[in-house]
Amino acid sequence: MGLLDRVGSPADLRTLSASQVRALAAEIRGFLVDQVSRTGGHLGPNLGVVELTLGLHRVFESPRDTLVFDTGHQAYVHKLLTGRQDFSRLRRSGGLSGYPSRAESAHDVVENSHASTALSWADGIARANAIAGRTDRHVVAVVGDGALTGGMSWEALNNIADGADRRLVVVVNDNGRSYAPTIGGLAQHLDALRTTRGYETVLSWGRSALKRSGPPGRLAYEALHGLKKGIKDVVAPQAMFEDLGLKYVGPVDGHDTAAVEFALRRARAYGGPVIVHVITEKGRGYTPAEQDVADRFHAVGQIHPETGLPVAPSRFGWTGVFADEIVRIGTRRPDVVALTAAMLQPVGLAPFAERFPDRTFDVGIAEQHAVTTAAGMAYAGLHPVVAVYATFLNRAVDQVLMDVALHRAGVTFVLDRAGLTGDDGASHNGMWDLALLGVVPGLRLAAPRDEDTLRDALRTAVDVDDAPTVVRYPKGALTEPLPAVDEVDGVDVLARHDGAPGARSVLVCGVGAMARTGLALADLLAAHGLRVTVVDPRWVLPVPAALVKLVGEHDHAVTVEDGVREGGIGSAVAQRVRDAGLATPVQTFGVPRSFLAHATRDKLLTALRLTPGDIAADVLAALRSAG
């Protein structure tokens, strides 16, 4: 029976000796590599916070003390230490979420896995504790150096510093990267703290002295702290935090269990806002991750644990097409520049950055800034391409509306992982973009269905210089090409079924990745003798006049999309049809206005009745009802 088997709650950790804690850390790393290599998930971030999470749960008493993780993908160790050790269905339907989940445990507080929010959550909880007189509890926010590049983090720090009576500890988990190496002035500041020679000398001296003196005790660490403080005052530029009014502790070796616990106990005893600066190594203890420079182990699919190589090679995907086409565009268009928010590799901009380093800008986890600085670039004569995951553009809708669209700025937004992405749960499904962006005046949005239409949409988008353009595509491997059999004023016709003589006619409009569903739906409807036309407008916003005309030429129309149904493309089509005075009913199919639990895309589509068979049954029922 291993040590991990004996840990049913954080209280069990407090009975362990220092040597047992170190042994438990090694056991947890082995568990994570073994389990996550089977299921996929966020491996690197969790390997880096093992000792830190052990220290948090030995010093603080969750759930009375509130732990908030920013972002939650570093919470696997926290789950293990709070009674959740069945990782066999991690990120799969019915299994553990890849992020904190209130449904799983009272130890989980914040479920949203968008970055840079934890400090605001922690500030709010600490303020409420102070108002209620709950002076016996602390709030601890664990925030990465990458998340500190987000504007919300600094808005929160500004307010946290104004609360001397609030028992709030901010743990900066500094590993020099989030999805990618952390950039900007803050990164340089933390790097100075991390690499100052005086600190390295002290840490090296401290470790060797403590090894010589046997098991580390409180007096030894207090002496080490005193020496570090004396040197820090001379050589370390930590004043930025202290000038805000925040007590600063660190830097601390985040893989030294005793040092981490000592720093956290000091922070807990202070009684006011404290920043504990912890230096960790992402992927710690797993050789393939430690040797990887591209951060492939931030999130993995199924891998061979011995080598870290994928169990099955990835098929060429949508992101790869974008990566290739944007380089082609950049080669012929020197005015095209690329921006992203700490996701250069995941969104496919690495090849563009290698080819055009002076025209590539990673602004950190700061989507709002990315969008507005793109508006400034457009004003000054460039054509910016802002590439982010669809779910993360939610954070900058105001900037799209008021900074880009209002000023008629020629900015192209490329939304990766649009629609249902599944495994990462509610906060990562890119299902909101069609509805949110549908209210933006002048915005044009394309939903390509295959490689050729994606390349064409990108080329068309960057040629628009007086309005925002959007190109959105799903996660994963490319589908087989879906060539058009005809075109009607820019709307692609994918199939026509003649039907029985005198049969009613149905127009099926499949949006983007749902075009294939539309074709399968048409086959089922045609089998019932209906006359069916399948179309893909490609550019779905604003609703093409040709699509409205086609609807009017049929007895019944159906739209299928993998975005939110209310306010989505189907709603926009139905409104345009009504405005045109046409009598054709438009039946819309999409994602309900709800938060979806983690599951594969296929399972979600089945659960939401967005399969061809379920849609066909509903369409046939509607036709029977209409007589």
Residue 573 has pLDDT above 80, yes or no: yes
Give the per-residue pLDDT at 227: 46
Residue 625 has pLDDT above 60, yes or no: yes
Read off the tokens for 568: 């989505």
Cis, bond preceding 441 (omega within 30 deg of 0): no
Give the per-residue pLDDT at 329: 97
Query: Sheet holding 168-174: strands in order across?
Result: 66-70, 139-144, 168-174, 274-279, 247-253
pLDDT tens per residue across span 451-506: 999 999 999 999 999 999 999 999 888 888 999 999 999 999 999 999 888 899 99
Going by C-beta distance under 8 Å and a sequence separation of 6 or more, which residues neighbour residue 287? none
Q: Is there a catalytic annotation at residue 553?
A: no
CATH topology of domain 4-196+236-290: Rossmann fold (3.40.50)
Q: Is there a catalytic annotation at residue 229?
A: no
pLDDT tens per residue across span 209-257: 545 554 445 555 455 455 444 444 444 445 556 666 678 887 888 899 8
Cα distances from 410 to residues 156, 436, 605, in angstroms, run 33, 19, 35
367 marked ligand binding residue? yes
Give the per-residue pLDDT at 197: 42
What is the band of 421 on the pLDDT scale with cuts at 50, 70, 90? confident
- Residue of 58, 91, 282, 296 with catalytic role: 282
What mean pLDDT do residues 532-555 have?
A: 96
What percentage of the chain has pLDDT greater than the value 70?
83
Q: Minimum mean pLDDT among 18-22, 100-104, 378-382: which range?
A: 100-104
Give the per-residue pLDDT at 201: 47
| Closest CA relative to residue 85, chosen from 94, 77, 75, 93 | 77
Give the per-residue pLDDT at 232: 46
Going by C-beta distance under 8 Å and a sequence separation of 6 or more, which residues neighbour residue 593? 564, 565, 566
Phi and psi, residue 181, nearest 5° = -55, 135
Give the per-residue pLDDT at 350: 92
- Residue of 51, 261, 325, 367 with catalytic role: 367
Give the per-residue pLDDT at 64: 93
Distance from C-alpha of 551 to C-alpha of 383, rounded to nearest angstrom: 35
What is the band of 87 on the pLDDT scale with cuts at 50, 70, 90? confident
Could you tell me which residue, 412 or 207, shows the higher pLDDT?
A: 412
Residue 309 has pLDDT above 80, yes or no: no
Residue 622 has pLDDT above 90, yes or no: yes
146 marked ligand binding residue? yes
What mean pLDDT do residues 337-361 have?
A: 93
What mean pLDDT do residues 278-286 have?
A: 80
Query: Sheet holding 383-389: strands in order across?
Result: 360-362, 336-340, 383-389, 412-416, 469-472, 444-446, 539-541
DSSP strands (E only) in 462-607: 469-472, 486-488, 491-497, 505-510, 531-536, 539-541, 556-564, 586-591
What is the band of 1 on the pLDDT scale with cuts at 50, 70, 90? low
Cis, bond preceding 71 (omega within 30 deg of 0): yes
145 marked ligand binding residue? yes
Cis, bond preceding 501 (omega within 30 deg of 0): no
Do 4-196+236-290 and 318-472 agree at the fold level? yes
Contact assessment for residue 119 and residue 171, using Cβ atoms and an 8 Å cutoff: no
CA 196, 197, 198, 203 torsion-angle sign: positive
pLDDT tens per residue across span 180-218: 555 555 555 555 555 454 444 445 545 555 455 544 455
Give the per-residue pLDDT at 409: 96
What is the band of 272 on the pLDDT scale with cuts at 50, 70, 90? confident
What is the band of 295 on the pLDDT scale with cuts at 50, 70, 90? low
113 marked ligand binding residue? yes
Strand partners, 142: 69, 171
Region of 420 please: left (phi>0), alpha (psi -120 to 50) or beta.
Answer: beta
| Closest CA relative to residue 149, chosen from 294, 298, 397, 363 | 363
CATH of domain 318-472: 3.40.50.970
Q: Minimum mean pLDDT among 110-124, 245-259, 292-306: which range?
A: 292-306
| Closest CA relative to residue 253, chosen from 277, 235, 274, 287 | 277
| Closest CA relative to residue 92, chosen from 475, 601, 610 | 601
What is the band of 384 on the pLDDT scale with cuts at 50, 70, 90? very high
- Three-class SS of 581-608: CCCCCEEEEEECCCCCCCCCHHHHHHHC
CA 325, 449, 497 angle in degrees (round to 5)? 145
Give the per-residue pLDDT at 61: 93
How far out from the chain centre does Cα 516 lie? Answer: 27
Distance from C-alpha of 518 to C-alpha of 520, rounded to nearest angstrom: 6
| Closest CA relative to residue 264, chosen from 62, 465, 83, 126 | 62
Q: Is there a catalytic annotation at residue 282?
A: yes
What is the band of 530 on the pLDDT scale with cuts at 50, 70, 90? very high
What is the band of 379 on the pLDDT scale with cuts at 50, 70, 90? very high
Angle between helices 545-552 and 569-579 (to 10 degrees): 70
HSE at residue 407, side-chain half, CA atoms within 13 A, is: 19
What mean pLDDT do residues 66-74 have?
A: 85
175 marked ligand binding residue? yes
- Residue of 395, 475, 516, 576 with catalytic role: 395
CATH topology of domain 487-626: Rossmann fold (3.40.50)
115 marked ligand binding residue? yes
Distance from C-alpha of 529 to C-alpha of 413, rounded to nearest angstrom: 42
What mean pLDDT do residues 25-35 have?
A: 87
DSSP state at residue 225: H
Contact assessment for residue 51 and residue 18, using Cβ atoms and an 8 Å cutoff: no
Q: DSSP secondary structure string, 114-177?
A: -TT-HHHHHHHHHHHHHHTT-TT--EEEEEETTGGGSHHHHHHHHHHTT-TT--EEEEEEE-SB
Domain ranges of the chain: 4-196+236-290, 318-472, 487-626
Mean residue pLDDT across the chain: 85
| Residue in the structure block whose two tokens are 């991990």 | 4
Q: Minimum mean pLDDT among 57-66, 274-283, 526-535: which range?
A: 274-283
What mean pLDDT do residues 548-574 have?
A: 95
Give the per-residue pLDDT at 419: 86
| Closest CA relative to residue 580, chosen from 544, 554, 556, 548 | 548
Distance from C-alpha of 565 to C-alpha of 552, rounded to nearest angstrom: 21
Exposure of 135 by Cβ count < 10 A (0-12 exposed, 13-18 middle, 19+ buried)? exposed
Give the per-residue pLDDT at 299: 66
pLDDT tens per residue across span 591-618: 998 888 877 888 888 888 999 999 999 9
Give the per-residue pLDDT at 429: 79
